[in-house]
């Protein structure tokens, strides 16, 4: 497996998981960086709701990466309102993911990853979205068995 790990993390929890995946896969870490920080928990919630109402979201400062050498792209994010944050979705729309295996991973307070995966499938059309892994404060996912499955 030759992997890239694209992720967005607002308060560092998803980033920690992304770094663990990097260690286990020797993949390239690509952090999606907003042009302006979202801020702390409550301010971020207000901003997320504002983005939903206006359709205007933060932009990202990253260049779009060349993913041609990778067969697998891990996509990581915090669950925001049951979904992947729009800034990450916008970034993914610009990436050429065709023919790749896309593996979502998400962290949350309590929600599972399932509700966010359907949206990702639309954003990452032309790819195989497989083996989603979610972990939350309430339900810790079984990272080790997930990683074993992904590596097979």
Ligand X SMILES: Cc1cc2nc3c(=O)[nH]c(=O)nc-3n(C[C@H](O)[C@H](O)[C@H](O)COP(=O)(O)O)c2cc1C
Residues forming the site for ligand X (CB under 6 A): 9-15, 41, 44-45, 48, 78-82, 107-111, 136
Considering the complex, what minimum distance in angstroms separates the CB of residue 71 from ligand X? 25
d(CA 140, CA 96): 32
Considering the complex, what minimum distance in angstroms separates the CB of residue 78 from ligand X? 3
Name which of 40 and 126 has its Cβ closer to ligand X: 40
Q: 104: part of which helix (H) or strand (E)?
A: strand 101-108
Strand partners, 75: 6, 104
Name which of 14 and 89 has its Cβ closer to ligand X: 14
Closest CA to 48 of 102, 107, 89: 89
Token pair listed for 140? 């810790």
Considering the complex, what minimum distance in angstroms separates the CB of residue 129 from ligand X? 19
d(CA 103, CA 74): 5
Name which of 109 and 126 has its Cβ closer to ligand X: 109
Considering the complex, what minimum distance in angstroms separates the CB of residue 20 from ligand X? 13
Name which of 27 and 134 has its Cβ closer to ligand X: 134
CA 10 to chain centre: 11
């Amino acid at each position: 497996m030759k992997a890239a790990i694209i992720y967005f993390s607002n308060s560092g929890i998803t980033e920690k998981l992304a770094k663990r995946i990097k260690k286990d896969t020797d993949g390239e870490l690509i952090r999606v960086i907003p042009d302006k920080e979202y801020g702390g928990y409550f301010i971020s919630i207000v901003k997320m709701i504002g983005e939903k109402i206006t359709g205007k979201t933060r932009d990202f400062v990253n260049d779009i990466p060349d993913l041609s050498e990778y067969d697998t792209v891990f996509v990581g994010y915090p669950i925001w309102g049951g979904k992947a944050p729009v800034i990450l979705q916008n970034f993914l729309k610009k990436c050429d993911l065709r023919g790749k295996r896309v593996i979502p991973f998400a962290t949350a307070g309590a929600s599972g990853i399932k509700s966010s995966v359907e949206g990702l499938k639309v954003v990452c059309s032309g790819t195989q979205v497989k083996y989603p892994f979610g972990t939350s404060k309430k339900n810790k996912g079984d990272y080790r068995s997930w990683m074993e499955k992904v590596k097979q």
